[in-house]
Amino acid sequence: MLAERNRGYFEAKNIAALNFVSSPGAGKTTLLEKTITALKEEIPFFVIEGDQQTMNDAERIDATGVPVIQINTGSGCHLDSVMVNSALKQLSPDPDSILLIENVGNLVCPALFDLGEARRIVVISVTEGDDKPIKYPTIFRNADLCIINKTDLLPYVQFDVEKTKEYARRIQPQIEFIETSATKGDGMESWFDWLRRQRSA
Ligand SMILES: Nc1nc2c(ncn2[C@@H]2O[C@H](COP(=O)(O)OP(=O)(O)OP(=O)(O)O)[C@@H](O)[C@H]2O)c(=O)[nH]1
Ligand SMILES: [Mg+2]
């Protein structure tokens, strides 16, 4: 019910809320920094950052110039809808904006908590191994998009992109994929187009 309350708030204000989940260090914040820097004149962004400790990620987003709230979960391993609701009261995102919610880095706990988001995006990086979708299926079950990040490292690691896609489709046949290198910029235009489609939807 609390997640539905957030969903109603987003619908009433026509805000596209996106929940980014991944294991620690897959590149969520880097992806958000690059996205905001490239598109902030075109799209109003608001950001909620979730980490157990530190303001590090909020400070990185703050440097891009968009409004951001950091939630520290302490010993908790995920964001929940109540945390997001109280962050929304401080952040007060504009109508017709995109709300980027970076969850705590963890492929397990965040899978179980609906935040009221419109879309869930799983980021996996090529250094993690291509079997992640079948080892951690729950997080893929309700995911709309899988971003395969750090593709610039593919020459140095054993990671079969097609195998990962096949594994993820076994769990969520409708899932979409975008391959990116957030640091080098490869694939970012496809990701920006996907983001624009969420806003118009
Ligand atoms: N080579 C390479 N490194 C990347 C890429 N994207 C991110 N990184 C690096 O990966 C590390 C972690 O990136 P973050 O963006 O902090 O990852 P995160 O998912 O936000 O991490 P947590 O919030 O701690 O879960 C940093 O050293 C980034 O520079 C990429 O596309 N290629
Ligand atoms: Mg981060």
pLDDT tens sequence across 89-98: 999 999 999 9
Output the pLDDT for position 199: 85
Q: Is residue 200 part of a domain?
A: no
CATH number of domain containing 183: 3.40.50.300
171 close to ligand 1 (CB < 6 Angstrom): no
Q: Is residue 164 part of a domain?
A: yes
What's the domain count of the chain? Answer: 1
In the sheet that holds 145-149, the strands lie side by side as 68-72, 45-51, 98-102, 16-22, 119-125, 145-149, 176-179
Q: Which residue spans within 3-56 are E strands per DSSP?
A: 16-22, 45-51
Q: Which ligand is nearest to the CA of 181?
A: 1
Instruction: Determine what percent of the chain is predicted with pLDDT higher than 70.
Output: 100
Q: Are 84 and 48 in contact (CB under 8 A)?
A: yes
103 close to ligand 1 (CB < 6 Angstrom): no
Domain with 141, as residue range(s), is 2-195
Q: Is residue 176 part of a domain?
A: yes
Q: Is residue 201 part of a domain?
A: no
Q: How far apart are CA 63 and CA 32, in angstroms?
A: 12
Residue 201 has pLDDT above 90, yes or no: no
Which ligand 1 atom is the nearest neighbour of the CA of 123? 19
Give mean pLDDT, residues 12-34. Answer: 98
Residue 165, token pair as written in the block: 């896609």
Q: How far apart are CA 79 and CA 8, in angstroms?
A: 18
Q: Is residue 83 part of a domain?
A: yes
Which ligand 1 atom is the nearest neighbour of the CA of 106? 25
Residue with CA closest to ligand 1 atom 2: 150
